[in-house]
Structure 1
Amino acid sequence: MRKSKGLTSEQLSELCEVNAVHIRRIESGGSLPSFSLFLKICNVLGTSADYLLGDLLDNPVIPDSVEQLGKQFKHLAPEQIEMISEMVEVMIRHTTTKE
């Protein structure tokens, strides 16, 4: 996530007010951040805790594109959301039966 945001470990460490070595240890799995540092990292990267913990969770993390769709759904009428939901169901059935 840090790299996708175009940040070096040094830049992230400065924004989180910690040592860059500590950030590199966290990223490599050699160290765990405190809860407050973890929240700082989430805020600096502009992401949610569940996204960063995705590899550790039983449920897969929802891709950003799906989250964006969810945000767009807030502006739709209920019948529009129902129509999209039905379209997705048809698409899933169609792709599932072909596999």
Structure 2
Amino acid sequence: MNKLIYGIFAALIGFNCSAAESAQDYKCYIKSSYGNEYIVFFKWKDKNVRRHMAALPATQLTDRMNKKYFVKTVDECITMDKEFVSTTAKKLDLQTLR
């Protein structure tokens, strides 16, 4: 009986920890294989941001005109409430629809 209670307690603690670790919105300044630059949006958990950023190059995405492109480089990824460092990314961010 005690093992069952400890098991339920451990499961509840694990559930609370994972619930507290919610995903956050990110915006990334990328360059495509065609030479175009984009601001793209993602929802990632904080602990996985670096892994997701590293996986983006060579990923195929689709722009607003349904044109497919491959990500060539990822210059910056930041949370939605922050500003990009690059002036080019800042200008593009102002022009990009959310």
TM-score of the pair, normalised by structure 1? 0.22
Identify the structure with the greater strand proportion: 2
Give the number of the structure with larger relative contact order, counting CA–CA contacts within 8 Å between residues 6 or more apart: 2
TM-score (ref. length: structure 2): 0.22
